[in-house]
Structure 1
Amino acid sequence: MDADDAFTSVTWDRRDDAALHSGSGNGAGASSSRTLDEGGFTSAPGPATPGIDGLTRHALAPLARGTHEADGEQPAWQGFLRVQVCEPRKEHEGTKEMFCSYGIRAETNLAHFSRTRLTTRRRFQDFVFLRENLKKDFPACLVAPLPDKHRMEYFTGDRFSSEFIERRQADLQLFLERVCRHPILQRAQLLRTFLESTEWHVDMHSHVSASNANASADGHSGPGGSAPGGLLDGLTDTLLNAFSKVRKPDEKFEAMKEKLEKLEEGLGSTERVVMRARARHGDLAGDYEEFASAIEGLGYLESGITEPLNRFAAANLEWARLQRQLASNSTDDMLSHTHALLAYTHSHRSVLRLRDQKQLDFEELTDYLSSVVTERDRLASLSSPHGAGHGHGGVRGAGISGYLRDRVDSLRGVDEERTRVQRMQRLDGRIQELQDAVTTSHDISVAFSQQVARENTVFTMAKEQEVKEMLGTYVDGQIDMWRRGEELWKNVLDAWPEQET
């Protein structure tokens, strides 16, 4: 690459593991917010991208220490995929169809990409399509959330303002970074199409058609060739499972949930504290502006010291401006960082809930198989007058309902032995189907759990570095404000005239 290129994406390079251990005390990962100046994208400075610039090779090198996905919880990368969202542009400006598109630059060494450098342009709806379909295609993977589309800017007419576009650009950068550094999602065919395709709308329709065809094939491939149960059955299962709990929870995943709860609680508290600090900075700025106005008025009355008083008033106005600049820059970035990380934890929590659902499916299928086997054994014991099944119901089952059905069959002259044998044959077939279903469900649950454990590893490392970047940005803003304030007031004091006592 050229020396001027400054991709802010993470690269996991295994060659620097030794450097990581020898220099772990150094501040790895300096912040950078430069944009690319190649391929038609200007080199204008953009907004600080939350949680991206600090995700350097050194900080996340432990994730790439020659691990393989078969090793268990450690993810494995086959290469890097660096991305840059830059130069937003208003399309069809002045018409009802007006929207904003965003330039995307990418560089990769992954083998399934046709080129190493990619340039394209996408709108927000394309990012939405990418996320929703990645989430559908990879249910066990942690797909990063997108920025919320339903904001007040859409009701006040400000969604095409420069501030809103810059914030959305930073949010889309963060989303695409999280996707492209994921060891599985970075190899997804849909992501490759998103970055490479020149006929994106055609490829979107093709992907939807292929997904629907696969869903239809899966829906009709059940035992006996029966059709899928439909929306009502799926809704019923969802409602039933919503009130069910896993009987044998895994301590490892329970610990993950507990950590997520603590993280969400901490981020929520941080967000409230920063919002109060932001409001106080705004109040202080207003107070300093009023104070400066009063000092200027005093200067008109005290003609002998008008110039020093005006300098003092100007210093108060400048200090008020620094207060507002802190609130609008580092404080707002801190709140945006916090909100984005909270949304990321919510996505992780949804993946953990889905893992619990897979385990719950396995437990319920196991219980159903056990009940069918018990019923089959009970019917088998009825073949002997002294069998264990006697006294525990007839051929039609236990309870009053089974007894009544047996009596009706007896009055109708139905052969009880033949009915018993037929029921046993049907139950044998059902047991075979259930055994296959239980085995499949167990394999899915185990594989899902292993993948979720790897997802937690990626999330934990990314979270730690994003929090470090978030706090570093906020602290840098505070330090800069107080440093400039110190210089400001020092200059005022140095220029203040000496008064005779």
Structure 2
Amino acid sequence: MADTEETAVLEVSSECKSSVMKKQDSKDTDIMSNCSTSLEGSVVASPSIESFSTLPDQEMSEFGLDTRDLQVKVDNPQKHLDTLETYITFRITTRTSRAEFDATEYVVRRRYNDFVWLRQKLVEAFPTHLIPPLPGKHTLLAQLDRYSKEFIIARMALLHRFLNRVANHPVLSCNPSMKIFLTAKPSEFAIHRKSRQGLLGRMSSSFHNLAAVYMMRHQSPEFDQVREYVTTLGEKLGSIDKISQRIQKERQEYLYELHQMHPIFTLWSASEPELSPVLLAMASAVERNAQAQQHVLVTFTPNIAQPLKEYLLYVEAVKESLARRDSVQIEFELTVEELKKKRIEKEQLMTNDQLTGPVTPNNSGGFSIAGASLWKSAGEVREDKLQKLAQAIPQLVKQVEENQDKVECANENLRADLERWNFEKKSDLKKLFLALANQQIKYYEECLSAWEEVLPDVKGGTESTSSSQCKPVQITS
């Protein structure tokens, strides 16, 4: 059982597999059982809560003492074995005092793709807000490790952080899709998941694609400065991430060397009785150094590497929000240009009282102008165009005003979110760097303590050895 906890997150027991083969009629709906069948019919295997299925004690205590009107917690992963796929779900516990909720507490299960659905819905509903990022989807090369303990714990922590950021947002947390995500039962939630993308979402996507090929005429210095800042921040964090990965690789190699050094001192002590205390003390110090190094390797990913990668994703989320804001401005500028063209066309029609070329009747009863046959007179054509322009221009004027309001709202929304993000970023990066500093201090203190304890044995051993070697020989007659 211990090996299972170390090598895999969730394993289906043989009893659970045999129950599926026998096709028992009973459906256990308790999602917390060690071997149950989910509402979708997939076999579930869950670890004990005492293993790793909950968040760290600090976050658990914070959840219990939380006074917010909307509290969410992501924990307790479960592995589902379906006929076509295997996937992980997470328990989401919600406590709320908001009037729009029918109850004060909800417990549901969601998989990673459900979180992706929620974020997409938030982007569609609030394209000019900063939507927090999700942890990246596993790559093809990492699929073999997607059910490992480390991978699931890291993903669970990031999903918990994503959901709490949405819950803390004064606008995003009030979205109907957020309520559905937190409260809907599996059958009800499946219906909402199957609903197609709305018209507003498709329009936002089209304008987002347009932003890639259209160059804005009026750049915003304020948001251009933000774009430059997040680009620089992303480059710095990316460099730190690459260097950290190289350091981790070197630490693994160093740990391997320490493991090779320990038995050398131990075996040496067996063949050197006089140096045995010194050699055993050295072996003990090497072992303690290896343990300290192992602790650094284990804690580095969840405490430093994972939050660092998350902020790289956050930088990309800020860039996406800036691009969506640009698409709103592009829509406004395109409408202004269209209005300008219509007004120029109207002025040209008003100033040109006569068409170029003589107007003569033809055999079919129409008119020919410079060799072209017309069924209407030039004056009638001009009047029709003027009439259409008279209808189109006011509509464009109204659309320009509406789009200008959208630009102003987009600027205000993004400005408020960026201010909130900057405050949060300072706090998070400070915690990240403090964790890194404390980790290194603790590591070097453990190593220093190990070697300091060796010094008395080494000094005593060398002095006794030298004294035995320099002891004068007494010659008796």
TM-score interval, normalised by the smaller of the two chains: 0.7 to 0.9
Other-structure match for 2:418: 456
The C-alpha deviation readout for 1:36-66, integer Å capped at 9, x for no partner, is xxxx9946667887x989x99xxxxxxxxxx
Other-structure match for 2:112: 124
Q: 1:359 touches 1:445 (CA, 8 Å); kept in 2?
A: yes
User: 2:90 aligned with 1:102, yes or no?
Assistant: yes
The counterpart of 2:161, out of the listed 168, 171, 174, is: 174
Q: 1:89 touches 1:102 (CA, 8 Å); kept in 2?
A: yes
Per the TM alignment, residue 430 of structure 1 is displaced from its structure 2 partner at its CA by: 1.6
Other-structure match for 1:222: none
User: 2:464 aligned with 1:477, yes or no?
Assistant: no
Other-structure match for 1:249: 219
Q: Which structure carries more relative contact order (alpha carbon 8 Å, separation 6+)? A: 1
How do 1:57-206 residues align onto structure 2 when only pairs under 5 Å count? 80-92=69-81, 97-152=85-140, 154-156=142-144, 158-197=145-184, 199-206=185-192
The alignment-based identity, stated in percent, is 23
Q: Which amino acid aligns with 1:488?
A: A
Q: Matched residue of 2:275: which SS?
A: helix
Per the TM alignment, residue 257 of structure 1 is displaced from its structure 2 partner at its CA by: 0.9
The gaps in structure 2 that reach 5 residues or longer are 1-46, 359-367, 467-477
Other-structure match for 1:11: none
The gaps in structure 1 that reach 5 residues or longer are 1-39, 57-77, 220-229, 396-404
Per the TM alignment, residue 151 of structure 1 is displaced from its structure 2 partner at its CA by: 2.8
Other-structure match for 1:349: 319
Per the TM alignment, residue 424 of structure 1 is displaced from its structure 2 partner at its CA by: 0.9
Q: Matched residue of 2:370: which SS?
A: helix
Q: 2:129 touches 2:410 (CA, 8 Å); kept in 1?
A: no
Other-structure match for 2:3: none
Distance 1:339 1:265 in 2: 12
User: 2:264 aligned with 1:294, yes or no?
Assistant: yes
The size of the alignment, in residue pairs, is 403
Per the TM alignment, residue 241 of structure 1 is displaced from its structure 2 partner at its CA by: 4.0
Report the TM-score, using the length of structure 2 for normalisation. Answer: 0.75
Per the TM alignment, residue 165 of structure 1 is displaced from its structure 2 partner at its CA by: 1.6
How do 1:385-424 residues align onto structure 2 when only pairs under 5 Å count? 407-409=370-372, 412=374, 414-424=376-386
Other-structure match for 1:337: 307
Other-structure match for 2:242: 272
Q: Which amino acid aligns with 1:83?
A: V
How do 1:232-247 residues align onto structure 2 when only pairs under 5 Å count? 241-247=211-217
Q: 1:207 to 1:313 in 2, by over 3 A?
A: closer
Other-structure match for 1:489: 451
Q: 1:96 to 1:310 in 2, by over 3 A?
A: farther
Q: 1:362 touches 1:445 (CA, 8 Å); kept in 2?
A: yes
The C-alpha deviation readout for 1:119-160, integer Å capped at 9, x for no partner, is 32222222222222222222222222222223356532x322
The counterpart of 1:430, out of the listed 386, 392, 417, is: 392
User: 2:298 aligned with 1:328, yes or no?
Assistant: yes
Q: Which amino acid aligns with 1:268?
A: G
Q: 1:240 to 1:353 in 2, by over 3 A?
A: closer
Q: Which amino acid aligns with 2:149?
A: S
Q: Which amino acid aligns with 2:171?
A: I
Q: 2:54 touches 2:75 (CA, 8 Å); kept in 1?
A: no
Q: 2:90 touches 2:109 (CA, 8 Å); kept in 1?
A: yes
Which piece of structure 1 moves more, 125-134 or 327-336? 327-336
The C-alpha deviation readout for 1:413-451, integer Å capped at 9, x for no partner, is 742122211111111112122112212211111111111
Q: 1:239 to 1:364 in 2, by over 3 A?
A: same
